[in-house]
Structure 1
Amino acid sequence: MNMVANVISNFTLPLSQSKVKTDNLDGCLINSGMMEAAINIVVSGALDKGKAAIEYVLGQANMARNMDSNYEKLTRVLEKLYAKRDDIQTEIQKDLKKTTSKECKHWIKRVKEVERKAVELESQYKKEKRNSSRLSFSPQRLKLAADMMGLQEEAQKLGSECKFERVAVQGSPDPLWVVYAAKLENTPSLQEIVQEILGYLRDESIRKIGLWGMVGTGKTTILQNINNNQELLKIFNIIMMVTVSRDWSVENVQQAIVQRLGLNVQGITSVQGIAQRISEELKEKNYLLLLDEVWEVFDLHSVGIYGNEGNSKIVLATRYHDVCHDMETDEEINVKPLPDHEAWNLFREKVGRNVDRPGIKPLAQLVAKACAGLPLLIDRVAKTFRKKNDTYLWRDGLENLKQWPGGRISEMDKILNFLRFCYDDLKSNDRKSCFLYGALYPEGYEIYIDHLVECWRAEGLIDFVSSFTMARSRGLTILEDLTDVSLFEKSQKVGYIKMNKIIRDMALKISEENEDTNFLVRASEELELPPSEEEWRLATRISLMNNRLQILPDSPNCNKLSTLFLQGNSGLITIPNLFFKSMGSLRVLNLHDTGIFSMPTSISFLTSLRGLYLNGCIQLMDLPLNIEALKHLEILDIRQVGISDFPVQIGKLVNLKCLRVSLHCSNMHCINREQDRRAQAICGVISRLTSLEELSIEADSFKWWPKAAKAVTLKVSNLTCLSSLRFWFPTVECLSAFISNSLSWKVCGFQFQFFVGNTRQTQYQILSTFKYRIDGYLSYSSGNGVNHAIKEVLRRTEAFELIGLKGVSRLSDFGMENMETVQACLIEGCNDMTTIISGYSISDNVLPHLSKLYLFNMLNLASIWEGPIGFGSLSKLTSLAFKNCPMLKRIFSEGMIQQLRFLHHLKVEDCSEIEVLMMKFECDMLDSDVLPRLKTLTLSDLPKLKTIWAGGYLEWPALENLEVCNCELLQMLPFTKNNAICLRSIQGEEAWWRALTWEEDGIRERLEHICIFKR
């Protein structure tokens, strides 16, 4: 009994404490002893305990005897466990933005511990295998076997636990998401509030801060600047900015916070559950929560913001002071409108260069004042006025601001919504009606802006304006507004807009739903036959333009019809005599580019007609004698028609406000008496049209027009309502007579397109470069010397073309003080000019607003600038082009290139003497970022050009496109491995490219993929 007890005791104690000495015992003897002990236990009557002991001893012995088998089992279990671990780690590594979940990290840590134990057991196993003399039932083997079994069970259990919900989670959110924030340099009062809030955020006793004030005072801008403050990361672990908005909900606010924190809330469907998840994430963080546009009180607890997390703080912005109170803010700051000087500085910054244009600054100051010191309104209005390059647009915009009832800015919401939303949110019927009118034009059609606005005026869609000129200004303003909300889009063609197909379809659908706007639109549909009489009867506006119509109904019943577009039907030769009989409500009739020979007598029924367009009807030989019945006609366009004699019956259209006419003589050799008669007819008509506000007279012959023009000029100068004139002055004396006698010319804002000298009114080269309307254009051709009248007109000119001038050696002879308003200048064929500007007699900056300069066919031009150049001269120049200047040897004079910080485009063509484009001595004082905004460089037909830049390293930071053609000696480009980082294309001949040499290896390879080779 004692023996069995001892044996059992020895086996149940740790092996290190075993009392049995077995080193020199045979395994068989141990087995016999074990059996003897078992028999004694049975004999003694301890049957149950004996059985357990026997089973235990036998199990231990079997385990020790099967060590190899146990090791193999353990190895298989571990292989499966390691495979699972490797799969998980591979999954984690698929997305480097994610990190291992806490649960997964803990599991991998436990696997690592198992792996460590396995390595130790493997070492012991190999040691036991080497020691073959050791008994199979030795304590060492018995412990090793037991440890193997234990580790096997642990590994199996760990493998079965590998079923956690998230293997990887999104990494910790960035502590700061930078948002766009307006700079506060020009608004010190807002900057002071920012500093005040920063002070409160450093104060541990303050937890909630409230900003309140009327809409538009800059509360959002303040929060944005707080959000972007990097210094706050020393206080807070994370900064969150959430816009609550008017239609807020707890779910929306929660979703914004969940997204900011990168939380996984999949499977959590309740508001309370998500709130708990947010709270758990934030409880160990110091956070700053910025709540913008809080319209009403809400419970932060319902969102998951409990407010007791460390040093976390909340800043909220609202329009209402009571919201701050009810949300228990510790400090409240009233954000007030900006003082006048700050409002002006901010407006000036937002508008940009246009605000400094002559004539605009006084208006701009009034506009800024009308914004009542509200940064939001200043920003929105400035963005609108930034695109207004015409003084009349500024005047009209200012008038709109003034018309707010009692100056109350509460109306601002209406304006902001109007700017933001599409048709349903247009807040005025005139804008809705003007928008719908655009659907009369074909899909994708480039609509001539002047024609569209005139139709709006004729239809009565532009209200509350008396003069035609103000109606045009108002119409252009409406069009700008509609374009800003994408109901119209600007065309690449200057002076035109388009309507997107989907928008047009929407407009047509709206017109169908409205009883007052029943449109019949069949434009550009290849129609050969007109619509049915029923369709004509129901329509309020009809557009059949750009079709193949040859016939029209005899006398359609169209009592409701106000607009009829038939233009572009070149096959339409005849209009039935009674066609207009039932169109007494018609206001707009467009027959442009039709093939009609005459107008029917029924035109006398069009007593409501305001606009009549016959331009381009080259077969039309005369106007009907009864046209005087059109007593309300305001617009008549008869350019490029077949009429040879000026229609004297026009003189009876006493309400005419806009007349466009072409004068031509079928007999170029008509005698002087005939010339006198024609001149008298024109003068007689013009003298009767005392209401004319806009006049355009085109003449096609220099043989008869000069004599007639002298008399016509005097009559035109007597038109006291005139505000816009397009006219050919064949001599400078005619021009001088007009500006001396015309009272209209002396009125600020007079718009003009003047052609002076031996020229024809063809397509202007310089005007096509403008993306906006301009007030003043002057083309002076074939003149001699400098004239006082030209100088006076130049003072109000924005686009200037000087062609074939003699007797002047430089442009500056006209007086740089007279050219301060010039924005674009083209000089061509002035072969007495050797330079453009002489700086020796000029101390101030010159041409401060010039953005485009084109020099073509200047046979003796040697330079642009001669002598010292004043700071600020040419500082706005964006485009510079030369063509056929054979004496020009260098582009930039010393110091000139320093002024060209805004030059975007440089083009040099057919200048045979140029060897170097830019030279070192021109740039000695400049950094490597000379010409920092140059985007395109075009070099063509320069046979002596050897290098673009003769000097050190240049960055070419903005260069995108380089084009080289017929420059055989140009063998190296000024590029390295690191400069010209924006370069997108190099165009040239492939043979030229292959022959280039490079200062560094690898440059060709870097640039070759952007090459475009010419064929």
Structure 2
Amino acid sequence: MVEAAASAIAVEAYRDGRNLISYVTKKFDYADDLDMNYKRLKEESDRLFARREDIEAQVQRDKTKKMSKECEAWFYRVKVIEQEVMKLENEFNKGKKRTWRKRYILSRSNLSRRMVKMCEELHSLWVDARVETEVAVEKPPEPVRLINGPKIENKSSLHLAIAEVRGHLRDRDVKRVGVWGMYGIGKTTILQNLNDDEEIGKMFDIVIYVCASKDNCIETLQCAISRRLKLHVEGNDDAGEVAWRISKDLEKKRYLFLLDEVLESLDLHAVGIRDNGNDSKVVLASRYEYVCCDMEVDEFINVKRLSEDDAWKMFREKVGQNINLPGVEPIARLVVNECAGLPLLIDRVARNFRKKDNIYLWRDGLRSLRRWPNVKIHGMDEVLEFLRFFYDDLDDGTKNCFLYGALYPEDYDIFVDYLLECWKARGFMGDVIDFIEARGRGHSILRDLIDVSLLERSERMKYVRMNKVIRNMALKISSESKFSTFLVQAQAGEGLHKPPKEDEWKGVTEISLIDNKLHSLPEKVECEGLRTLLLQKNHDLTLIPESFFRSMQKLQVLDLYGSGIKSLPSSISSLTNLTALYLNSCSDLMELPADMRSLINLEILDIRGTGLSYLPVQIGHLLHLRCLRISLSKSCMGSLLEQSKLAQISQNVISGLSLLEELVIDVDPHNLWWDGVVKAVTEQVATLTKLTSLSFCFPSIDCLKIFVTSSSLWKDFSFTFRFSVGYHESTAYKILEHFEYEIFRCLRYVNGEGVNHVISEVLAEAEVFELIHHKGISSITEFGMDSINKMRGCLIEGCTDIVSIINGAHTVEASLGCLEKMVIKNAPRLLSIFSGPLHSGSLARLTTLSIYNCPKLLKIFSSGVVQQLSELQQLRVEECQEIREIIIGVENIGLETGCLPKLKMLILENLPKLRSIWVDDSLEWPSLEGVTVYMCHSLIRLPFGKSNAINLKYIKGQIAWWKKLEWAEDGTRERLQKIFFIFNQ
């Protein structure tokens, strides 16, 4: 056993000895290979660091990319290992200085071994940086990609449009804004400036500007958006998948999407632009209003043409120094006038005139421009081509309606109802017979023309116009037609003194000589094909030759509005196809032709504003008449016996007009003849079975009662009326001036007293109510809440007993929940607008409140009222001597800061005791744009600070008042001084 143990020990000792020898040998080997390993270390490290430099250069070359996280981690590892390599190099360099000794063998060996390990790590890092793999990724899309759009410093109209969009972008309730207008008006400029706007850029995480493709292809649009967002979707044919990726990328972002040149409605949800709940917005620009409507925009902005001043500034800038040549400026201004305020056209014309370096070339250029598009002008064919594109896209009937607009002077306000009647009379609406249907179809056509900007809405409500450039194109198109030829010399006040020569009348279908200074017309003209003759506003035209109309058997529209004629010639009987005859405002016309029986197709007769003081019996012979408008002037017919005879003759005039659809009878309050026939005429009117619209003067409630109890039509939903009970100096409804759309059911009650059930019955069907010089009621609530709660407009004037407009004690429900416009004038005892309890929903739709001359009025926004007025946009208060506060502080404690969220305009005039609009600057006034203060000397503080009323554009007032104002915060005066303007009455 001892031997065995000894033998085992010997074996173990032998093994240990061999391991020790092997270990020492390796140490010696590592020590011997130190120089070689150091050389390898240098090679491996140099190669790795060279790779690092190559990668850095690669990233620097592509500015659209940044290092990936993986790449950044690799660079960090290289940096760490670089420090370790430096340590090894320093250690090696120090060791070389030492003398060789055995005790250093181990340290040399360890150093060499560490170098070997380091070489392996260096090689591994070098392999990780292989070229085949991406070492960088794309940078995230920049928040705003600047377009550097055209400057708009000299274009105030575009500035206003941008400011309006900016205001909507701040409104959390607005998701989509539609900017629309004709080709070349500046829509793209607006969107590009919105894209570049620094303030807007701060409002969003990302701003995306994209032009829609001409074919509105969703895939093309998605491709453009994906490039902007740097989403790699190339080769992906699944539009739904791409839409999901776009929406996913935008999911957490507050984005602004600017979509330009939208020609047809687009489903943005299918594109990938979806409401992500982060107050993201879409602004789209289109030539067509209907596209904006189809895409469900919340706010519409119609881009108007440049003002004369803006157009001139732009033209000067584009033309350059040649505009300063002697004598050129007057010509240049006429050139600008030919461009009709269209930025694109101004640009093209300016490029053409930029080369003209003497006055002769300028004069020749102006002559050519005035003959355009008949004369080609370099650079302008593009404009004409695009305008012609809109026309070519219309159907034949709509094309005729459009061309008809060229009969009126450029930028002439055309009354919409009149234009639609002319279209119907000319047969442009096909087989439409009924006027109510014709007006519906006409408004659709009108909307189509406005949508494509071939017609424009006028600044005057219910009027449209055609600008110079569009009109020139229309006249050129008509000149090329084989079927419809125009002779147009409508001068808009410039004044032709002589009519066209006789041979010029031949072969034409439409003639317009509007607004001239014609004294006479030819004795005889040959124009068998004439369909329209417009002679309105020739005030000096007093006589029409007897045989003038003899060759005009096909004439359908004859307009003599505002001419000086005293009578119509006997040849009027030749107009057997005449459909519409306008004699309104011919104040010297005292009677109609004795025989009008031959006018068998006459449907429209307008004789308002003539010298007629009675109902002419000749009207009863016009059996096809569908629309009759007449006003009875002050009686001057002689004896009472003569008037009585005329009354008897006229009593049955209306009853024979069985096709009558629209009837207007306005009466001068001094017309004595009407009082004798009104009951009989009322009974006749009540028997008309096709009547759809009636404007009528009832001298008393008894007459009104005859109609409402006899007529079976007036309560029909399609029946419209304007009833005036009692006489008033004006036949116009003043409250209608405040509406931007048509109101069809109106009741005016003048010089009445107390409450009558017939008035309450009619009032229950009315949209507008004017109560004038009424006595015996303290509030309009006394007419009954059921009678007044449908009202959309209300005028109270000269009512001496009214103390409050609404008395909440008379009802347990909301009051005037449909009311939009309210005007109160000359109410000497009025103390408050609303008295008693206020129920939720009262005045919830009120947008305009105007108060004039109410000397005892103490409260406008009394307790709780102001919280209800979420839709109020305009407040005007004038000549109310006792008003001290607009919003009474003690009655509105704890008022929400966001109240009156839509108030845009505040006008305060002649309020001597007014000292406060609101007690401090705690209200936000988020939509307020303008404040006017005049003769309010006690008002020394405004409710504005440095941060509220952010959309305020102007404050108008007197200089002395402005200097006297006190400010709660430093810096507020400086902020508001920039928008202060001196008040001018």
TM-score interval for Structure 1 and Structure 2 normalised by the shorter chain: 0.5 to 0.7
Could you tell me how far apart the structure 1 residues matched to 2:409 and 2:808 are?
54
1:531 has 2:481 as partner: no
Residue of structure 2 in register with 1:652 after alignment: 621
- What's the CA shift for 1:481? 2.5
Residue of structure 2 in register with 1:380 after alignment: 294
Structure 2 counterpart of 1:430, from 394, 397, 405: 397
Could you tell me how far apart the structure 2 residues matched to 1:901 and 1:783 are?
34
- What's the CA shift for 1:422? 2.6
1:444 has 2:444 as partner: no
Q: Is the 8 A contact 1:241 1:289 kept in 2?
A: no
Structure 1 residues 745 and 680: alpha-carbon distance in aligned structure 2, compared to 1, 3 A threshold: farther
Q: What per-residue deviation string (whole Å, max 9, x for no partner) do you get for residues 514-567 of structure 1?
A: 211111111115222222333311111111111122222222111111111111
2:887 aligned counterpart, secondary structure: strand
Q: Is the 8 A contact 1:176 1:240 kept in 2?
A: no
Q: Is the 8 A contact 1:444 1:498 kept in 2?
A: yes
1:500 has 2:471 as partner: no
Q: Is the 8 A contact 1:800 1:822 kept in 2?
A: yes
Counterpart amino acid of residue 850 in structure 1: L
**Runs of 4+ in structure 1 over 4 Å off:** 98-102, 174-177, 237-260, 376-379, 381-387
Could you tell me how far apart the structure 2 residues matched to 1:439 and 1:244 are?
33
Could you tell me how far apart the structure 2 residues matched to 1:698 and 1:844 are?
38
Residue of structure 1 in register with 2:585 after alignment: 616
Could you tell me how far apart the structure 1 residues matched to 2:510 and 2:465 are?
19
Q: Is the 8 A contact 1:865 1:893 kept in 2?
A: yes
Could you tell me how far apart the structure 1 residues matched to 2:894 and 2:914 are?
24
Superposition RMSD in Å: 4.4
Residue of structure 2 in register with 1:700 after alignment: 668
- What's the CA shift for 1:172? 3.5
Residue of structure 2 in register with 1:130 after alignment: none
1:203-218 paired onto structure 2 within 5 Å? none
Residue of structure 1 in register with 2:645 after alignment: 677
Residue of structure 2 in register with 1:757 after alignment: 726
1:449-528 paired onto structure 2 within 5 Å? 449-524=416-491, 526-528=495-497
Could you tell me how far apart the structure 1 residues matched to 2:936 and 2:211 are?
59
Q: Is the 8 A contact 2:514 2:538 kept in 1?
A: yes
Residue of structure 2 in register with 1:145 after alignment: none
Residue of structure 2 in register with 1:932 after alignment: 901
Return the index of the structure with the highest Cα Rg.
1
Could you tell me how far apart the structure 1 residues matched to 2:296 and 2:698 are?
39
Residue of structure 2 in register with 1:898 after alignment: 867
Counterpart amino acid of residue 724 in structure 1: S
Structure 1 residues 868 and 453: alpha-carbon distance in aligned structure 2, compared to 1, 3 A threshold: same
Could you tell me how far apart the structure 2 residues matched to 1:384 and 1:675 are?
59
1:290 has 2:235 as partner: no
Could you tell me how far apart the structure 1 residues matched to 2:873 and 2:815 are?
20
Counterpart amino acid of residue 474 in structure 1: R
Q: Is the 8 A contact 1:876 1:902 kept in 2?
A: yes
Q: Is the 8 A contact 2:791 2:816 kept in 1?
A: yes
Could you tell me how far apart the structure 1 residues matched to 2:820 and 2:655 are?
40
1:220-299 paired onto structure 2 within 5 Å? 246=215, 258=227, 261=230, 290=242
- What's the CA shift for 1:665? 4.4
Could you tell me how far apart the structure 2 residues matched to 1:377 and 1:936 are?
30
Structure 2 counterpart of 1:790, from 738, 743, 759: 759
Residue of structure 2 in register with 1:969 after alignment: 938
Scaled by the length of structure 2, the TM-score of the pair is: 0.63
Q: Is the 8 A contact 1:633 1:655 kept in 2?
A: yes
Q: Is the 8 A contact 1:751 1:776 kept in 2?
A: yes
- What's the CA shift for 1:381? 10
Q: Is the 8 A contact 1:920 1:951 kept in 2?
A: no
Counterpart amino acid of residue 876 in structure 2: K
Higher mean alpha-carbon deviation, 826-835 vs 518-527, is at 518-527
Structure 1 counterpart of 2:913, from 899, 920, 944: 944
Residue of structure 1 in register with 2:845 after alignment: 876
Could you tell me how far apart the structure 2 residues matched to 1:843 and 1:251 are?
58
Q: What per-residue deviation string (whole Å, max 9, x for no partner) do you get for residues 387-443 of structure 1?
A: 9xxxxxxxxxxxxxxxxxxxxxxxxxxxxxxxx9832222x3222211111111110
Counterpart amino acid of residue 927 in structure 1: E
Could you tell me how far apart the structure 1 residues matched to 2:582 and 2:296 are?
37
Residue of structure 2 in register with 1:741 after alignment: 710
Structure 2 unaligned segments of length 5 or more: list them. 1-34, 39-55, 87-136, 146-167, 174-205, 247-268, 272-289, 302-387
- What's the CA shift for 1:829? 0.9
Q: What per-residue deviation string (whole Å, max 9, x for no partner) do you get for residues 319-357 of structure 1?
A: xxxxxxxxxxxxxx999xxxxxxxxxxxxxxxxxxxxxx
Could you tell me how far apart the structure 2 residues matched to 1:575 and 1:383 are?
54
Q: Is the 8 A contact 2:627 2:662 kept in 1?
A: yes
Structure 1 unaligned segments of length 5 or more: list them. 1-13, 18-84, 93-97, 121-168, 186-236, 264-274, 293-304, 306-332, 336-375, 388-419
Residue of structure 1 in register with 2:565 after alignment: 596
- What's the CA shift for 1:578? 1.7
1:702-851 paired onto structure 2 within 5 Å? 702=670, 704=672, 705-851=674-820
Could you tell me how far apart the structure 2 residues matched to 1:681 and 1:382 are?
58
1:919 aligned counterpart, secondary structure: coil
2:597 aligned counterpart, secondary structure: helix
2:681 aligned counterpart, secondary structure: helix
Structure 1 residues 694 and 381: alpha-carbon distance in aligned structure 2, compared to 1, 3 A threshold: farther
Could you tell me how far apart the structure 1 residues matched to 2:218 and 2:631 are?
66
2:242 aligned counterpart, secondary structure: strand
Q: Is the 8 A contact 1:240 1:290 kept in 2?
A: no
Could you tell me how far apart the structure 2 residues matched to 1:624 and 1:877 are?
50
Q: Is the 8 A contact 1:648 1:682 kept in 2?
A: yes
Could you tell me how far apart the structure 1 residues matched to 2:221 and 2:825 are?
62
Structure 1 residues 850 and 1013: alpha-carbon distance in aligned structure 2, compared to 1, 3 A threshold: same
Scaled by the length of structure 1, the TM-score of the pair is: 0.62
Structure 2 counterpart of 1:607, from 564, 576, 579: 576
1:541-556 paired onto structure 2 within 5 Å? 541-556=510-525
Structure 1 residues 722 and 821: alpha-carbon distance in aligned structure 2, compared to 1, 3 A threshold: same
Residue of structure 2 in register with 1:629 after alignment: 598
Could you tell me how far apart the structure 2 residues matched to 1:823 and 1:553 are?
51
Q: What per-residue deviation string (whole Å, max 9, x for no partner) do you get for residues 668-726 of structure 1?
A: 8x554334323323322112222211111122233513333222222222222211111
- What's the CA shift for 1:811? 0.7
Q: Is the 8 A contact 1:604 1:630 kept in 2?
A: yes
- What's the CA shift for 1:850? 0.4
Q: What per-residue deviation string (whole Å, max 9, x for no partner) do you get for residues 762-813 of structure 1?
A: 3321111111111111111110111111111112211211111001110100
Structure 1 residues 575 and 382: alpha-carbon distance in aligned structure 2, compared to 1, 3 A threshold: farther
Q: Is the 8 A contact 1:896 1:922 kept in 2?
A: no
Could you tell me how far apart the structure 2 residues matched to 1:250 and 1:812 are?
60
Residue of structure 1 in register with 2:962 after alignment: 993
Task: Count the aligned residue pairs.
Answer: 687
Q: Is the 8 A contact 1:676 1:708 kept in 2?
A: no
Could you tell me how far apart the structure 2 residues matched to 1:926 and 1:888 are?
22
Higher mean alpha-carbon deviation, 479-488 vs 784-793, is at 479-488
Counterpart amino acid of residue 471 in structure 2: R
Counterpart amino acid of residue 699 in structure 1: V
Q: Is the 8 A contact 1:946 1:969 kept in 2?
A: yes
Structure 1 residues 680 and 472: alpha-carbon distance in aligned structure 2, compared to 1, 3 A threshold: farther
